[in-house]
Amino acid sequence: MEQTLNERIRDLFISSVEKDSNVRNAFLLVSNDQLDVLVDLSYGSNSYVGQQYYLASIGKVFTSVIIGQMVEKNLIGYEDKVIDILGSEIVDGLHTYKGVNYAGEITIRQLLNHASGIGDYFSDKPKSGKPMLDKILESPYQHYSPMEIVDWTRMNIKSVFKPGKGFHYSDTGYHLVGLVIERILKMSLYEVMDKFIFTPLDMKDTYMTSFVNQEKFDESKVCDVYWGEHNVKEYSIFKDDYAGGGIVTTSSDLLLFFKAIINHQIIRESTLIQMTRWSKYSSIKLIGIAYGLGLMNLKSTPVLFPKQYSSFGHIGSIGSFMFYNPTSKTYLIGSVNRFQYHRKSMNIMFNTLKVMMKALNNQL
């Protein structure tokens, strides 16, 4: 008997993760209304469909959506200077390049598209002492507040270029965006996310994981995450990710969110156009990826990545992914729950897209 499309997607996913001993658990959701496809899958002895998992940097899309909503309400502008909102006491000293203080020039847009030139607390090498990743591994339950992260960056991380003159991925920049949101709306970031995204979209299994929100967050229900051989799901790194990625959700909730973006339910079409204005700058660490306002675009390349496979969304440092392919109108969501394992996620997505494209061609 010929396999259905749903069965082919399932078998491809299971085959891909089963043969990789580094993958302990994984999730894949594929949705395409035209092909009548909705596949929600899990892999691993301790995982199940509908289980919550960490998003890591996919959380930046949520943060950008909040800013977009605020722009629509004339509460803020993309070209607004960050120093005018947060004040010099927070911003000064965060950006000095070749002896010149550029902190007062940084805009909201530049923070969102990583064009500010502010260094990244999470991955950049400090001027002296231990990198933040080493500090996290040595003291995994040590908590860092958003302002402590900003202050640590100010003291330890070099700026990399003049504002607006390059691309450098910066979680510190998104911490500043979170502080901007809280300053203007006079609410904590988790309250903002709940009021303007989670509740309106009925995302009942989605939360921010900050320390101030512990009463709503049951860590035991969240899928395991691995760093080498270590299960790190209880490490403070996830709770401290704040506006850069501190969200836990399920695949089905994430689909609700992304569909609401694509269909202009929680932001206007004009805002999505702003979010998908891809920067002319790129990074050697993110080859083949262009960045907008909280969204990544997987750029087409001849032979290796044909134009019809070009998709936009975001990835996370733990192999999480959320992408939409406009050609086939396919949503691809999931995670392999392992630090620095993006390649596996991209492989799963690309192979799934190939199956979807073939099915669409057969319809013509």
CATH code of the domain containing 120: 3.40.710.10
Confidence label for 286 from pLDDT (cuts 50, 70 and 90): low
Average of per-residue pLDDT across 241-256: 96
Same domain, 228 and 314: yes
Same domain, 173 and 279: no
- Specify the 3-state DSSP secondary structure of 320: strand
- Average pLDDT for the chain: 93
- Output the pLDDT for position 303: 63
Which segment of 50-54, 203-207, 284-288, 294-298 scores lowest on mean pLDDT? Answer: 284-288
Query: By residue range, what is the domain housing residue 318?
Result: 5-58+205-363
What pLDDT digit, counting tens, does each position of 249-275 carry?
999 999 999 999 999 999 999 999 999
Same domain, 258 and 173: no
Same domain, 31 and 15: yes
Same domain, 229 and 355: yes
Q: What sections of the chain are H helices per DSSP?
A: 5-18, 59-72, 82-86, 88-91, 108-112, 132-138, 146-156, 171-185, 189-193, 251-262, 269-275, 342-363
pTM as predicted: 0.96
Same domain, 90 and 139: yes
Q: Is 114 part of any domain?
A: yes
Task: Give the Cα separation of 39 and 332 in Å (integer).
Answer: 10
Average of per-residue pLDDT across 80-86: 98
Average of per-residue pLDDT across 106-125: 97
Average of per-residue pLDDT across 110-117: 98
Same domain, 42 and 71: no
Q: Residue 30: phi, psi to the nearest 5? A: -125, 130
What pLDDT digit, counting tens, does each position of 144-185 carry?
999 999 999 999 999 999 999 999 999 999 999 999 999 999
Among the candidates 150, 185, 220, a domain finishes at: 185
User: Is the pLDDT at 211 greater than 70, yes or no?
Assistant: no
Q: Is 75 part of any domain?
A: yes
Task: Give the Cα separation of 76 and 69 in Å (integer).
Answer: 9
Task: Give the Cα separation of 173 and 127 in Å (integer).
Answer: 18
Q: Percentage of the chain surpassing pLDDT 70?
A: 95
Domain count, the chain: 2
| Bridge partners, residue 222, by sequence | 52
Specify the higher pLDDT residue, 121 or 307.
121
